[in-house]
Amino acid sequence: MAATRIKVCGITNLDDARQAVRLGVDSIGFIFANSPRQVTAEQVHQIINKLPPFINLTGVFVDEDIEEVQKTADYCGLDTLQLHGTETPEYCKQLKAWKVIKAFRVREKLEPKRMAAYEIAGYLLDTYQPKRLGGTGKTFNWDLAVEAEEVGPIILAGGLNPDNITTAVKKVEPYGVDINSGVESSPGQKDQQKLKRVVNNIRRLEYAE
């Protein structure tokens, strides 16, 4: 099995960021949108300043004014922008200076044509829940994610935790996974043991070959 890229999202403090770095995750994510995990550009700037090099930094936005996204990304030194709202392919094109990931919330079926209209670096599949634009803690039918592979690099999200991550990765074989509320002790605070278990479970699959 190819290596699975790991993003840990919803980081709100330096201790959790450092623990994610220690575990060797590929990207750490900061949520600028309305959320129990919301952070300000200033908070993220302070956290990032204290991190070592070679860490990919992702910012999560929902239908934000594009100039505000660019300003925040520049100020914080973000590498990747993850868009969770109704952002259009044209909106994404204006962010060419960054790697863009667009989130697609999955209901009963996949919408590969709609996804393929986006010329972006990665396609994140998350669980649909009315009135929630992310961070639901719920999984969706992973059979649909398997079908999405032809569109481009798939990042699997939605309710991933230490207990279901092995099944999810084995089944979907995604390019990457995005772990958020499933490794928290309370909203915005990571549980160090859960985080460690998730990462170890993914690595174990890779070493098993």
Ligand X SMILES: O=C(O)c1ccccc1N[C@@H]1O[C@H](COP(=O)(O)O)[C@@H](O)[C@H]1O
- Contact pick of 5, 30, 123, 159 for ligand X (by CB under 6 A): 159
- Say whether residue 178 binds ligand X (CB under 6 A): yes
Question: Are the CB atoms for 176 and 5 separated by under 8 Å?
Answer: yes
The answer for 54, left when phi > 0, alpha when psi is -120 to 50, beta otherwise, is left
What phi, psi does 36 have (nearest 5°)?
-65, -10
Beta bridge partners of 30: 59
Residues 42-56, buried b or exposed e (16+ Cβ, 10 A)?
A: ebbeebbeeeeeebe
Told to judge if 9 belongs to the known catalytic residues of this protein, a careful annotator would answer yes
- Contact pick of 28, 32, 37, 72 for ligand X (by CB under 6 A): 37
Told to judge if 26 belongs to the known catalytic residues of this protein, a careful annotator would answer no
- Say whether residue 12 binds ligand X (CB under 6 A): no
- Say whether residue 126 binds ligand X (CB under 6 A): yes
Residues 66-88, buried b or exposed e (16+ Cβ, 10 A)?
A: eeebbebbeebebebbbbbeebe
Contact pattern from residue 86 through residue 125 relative to ligand X, giving x for each residue in contact according to CB under 6 A and a dash for the rest: --------------------------------------x-
Smallest distance from ligand X to CB 107, Å? 15
Smallest distance from ligand X to CB 209, Å? 27
Using CB under 6 A, list all residues that contact ligand X: 9-10, 29, 31, 33, 35-37, 60, 62, 84, 124, 126, 133-137, 157-160, 178, 180-182
